[in-house]
Amino acid sequence: MKKLLVPTDFSPHADLALDYAVEMAKNNKLEIDLLHVLHTPINWLKLEKTQENLYPEIQQSIRIAKSNLSDRVNKAKEIGVMINSHLHFSQGKDQILPFAAREGASMIVMGSHGFYGWKEHMLGSNTYHVLRKSPIPVLVVKPNENANVQLKNVVFATDFSEASGRAFGRILAFVYTFKAKLSLLYVNTPANFLEESQMEELGNAFLEKYADKAYPIHYYSAYKEERGILQFTEKTEADAVAVVTHGRSDLQQLFLPSVTENLVTYLKVPVFAINLTMLNQEA
């Protein structure tokens, strides 16, 4: 892991995401790219300098954005973090994922406003779009007055599948950046019910094949997987949850939200997600 991309709209939850990224960067000599995308009604980059004066509102927005970027960059640099600011212009096209690909980002760290209703689902938010499409891991941070940017306990919610196994190395790398403790969680649901001995057999086989050492495994019963993860996280006061997401299309998500998106909606702690589509392409 070398570079973290932090998209920002200068909101409190975006600033919290930057706090997490700074915490990761300062302890592991990582570089941060802080990206702000300014939406403009025209192609700003194709305007002549004389034409820019016809849009004083946009010019003012640019000045404010540059000032906000500068404030955050200077604050991070004061504690020794390598950070660069980027201001991009957009007429509605996605800028985050193309930027991440061009700059070689290892992870995207971004905030989420915490709302997920029909309107937001129809329009699509940057956070959920990135979760569905990102070929690199994504850490989603929620507004939380009691947020602990120094993660101590991370829960990896797993079904002990091969995909989870292939994601395990990246999850360990994330956990190690915080020097946190990792435990695994298997949610036993009525739809895929297993007896205790069966779960333990699967868990032990999973660790033997994919882990570098023995990690604690917790077995929790619930009607649905996300319900079990939510309840277990609250019960144990975990600082973050790691999952493997299926990366469905925007249209599929409209009718069938994924477990990951439900977790991002309802969990108060950060969610670290690795896209199954990415893992399949690497296999």
C-alpha span between 186 and 217 (Å, rounded): 7
158 and 276 in a common domain: yes
Higher pLDDT, residue 192 or 42 = 192
pLDDT of 234 > 80? The answer is: yes
* Structure confidence at residue 123 (pLDDT): 30
Residue at a domain's end among 111, 129, 164: 111
Mean pLDDT of the 233-242 span: 95
105 and 167 in a common domain: no
pLDDT of 281 > 70? The answer is: no
Assess if residue 76 is contained within a domain.
yes
221 and 161 in a common domain: yes
162 and 65 in a common domain: no
C-alpha span between 176 and 192 (Å, rounded): 32
Q: Using CA atoms in the order 212, 242, 237, 120, what is the torsion angle rounded to 10 degrees?
A: 180
* Structure confidence at residue 87 (pLDDT): 95
* Structure confidence at residue 129 (pLDDT): 84
* Structure confidence at residue 80 (pLDDT): 95
163 and 272 in a common domain: yes
Instruction: Identify whether the C-beta of residue 79 lies closer than 8 Å to the C-beta of residue 22.
Output: yes
Assess if residue 81 is contained within a domain.
yes
Q: What pLDDT digit, counting tens, does each position of 148-172 carry?
A: 788 999 999 999 999 899 999 999 9
158 and 76 in a common domain: no
C-alpha span between 164 and 200 (Å, rounded): 16
159 and 269 in a common domain: yes
* Structure confidence at residue 92 (pLDDT): 67
277 and 170 in a common domain: yes
Q: Directed axis angle between helix 12-28 and helix 56-77, to 10°?
A: 40
Assess if residue 133 is contained within a domain.
no
Lowest-confidence range among 3-12, 48-57, 147-156?
48-57
Assess if residue 117 is contained within a domain.
no
Closest alpha carbon to 269 in 115, 127, 155, 188 = 155
CATH number at residue 273: 3.40.50.620
* Domain that residue 32 falls in: 3-111
Percent of the chain scoring above 70 in pLDDT: 88
Predicted TM-score (pTM) of this structure: 0.90
Q: Directed axis angle between helix 196-210 and helix 162-177, to 10°?
A: 60
Residue at a domain's end among 59, 93, 111: 111
Assess if residue 55 is contained within a domain.
yes
Q: How is residue 136 annotated by DSSP?
A: S
Backbone dihedral region for residue 144 (phi beyond 0: left; psi -120 to 50: alpha; all else: beta): beta
pLDDT of 254 > 60? The answer is: no
160 and 79 in a common domain: no
Mean pLDDT of the 54-80 span: 93
162 and 219 in a common domain: yes
Residue at a domain's end among 44, 77, 111: 111
157 and 276 in a common domain: yes
263 and 160 in a common domain: yes
* Structure confidence at residue 42 (pLDDT): 80
Average pLDDT, the chain: 87
Number of domains in the chain: 2
Assess if residue 183 is contained within a domain.
yes
Assess if residue 11 is contained within a domain.
yes
Assess if residue 120 is contained within a domain.
no
**pLDDT bracket for residue 276 (50, 70, 90):** confident
